[in-house]
Amino acid sequence: MAYLEIGIIALLVIVVFYLFAVNSKLKKEKKVLQETLEVKDTTIQNLQASRVAVKDVIENLSAHDEVMTLLEEGKSREEISDELGIPISKIELIIKFDRIKKDHAV
């Protein structure tokens, strides 16, 4: 009877060590998966930010000619903002792009 009890205890110890090994392997895999998810989330955020940036550039290019024409006519940034319905910050950005474009053209 003593051998049976020792055998059962030994078997339980082996099962515990096996489960411990499997658990540690699963923890490592979980860590790798979490890192992969973080990279995926970062990539998605970067793609969304670049879409917004491209959209802003396209909008600025479409309004560029109108803004520069109105500026050449002597209208203020506030007047252009009211007339075109564009925020003053975007008008200033368009003006900066125009200056950069002229600097690189020279």
Model confidence over 74-103: pLDDT tens digits?
Answer: 888 888 888 888 888 888 888 888 888 888
Confidence (pTM): 0.49
Mean pLDDT value of segment 2-8: 92
Give the torsion sign (CA, 48, 54, 60, 62): negative
Would the pLDDT of 105 be above 80?
no
- Position 92 scores a pLDDT of 86
The tens digit of pLDDT for each residue in 6-35 reads 999 999 999 999 999 999 999 999 999 999
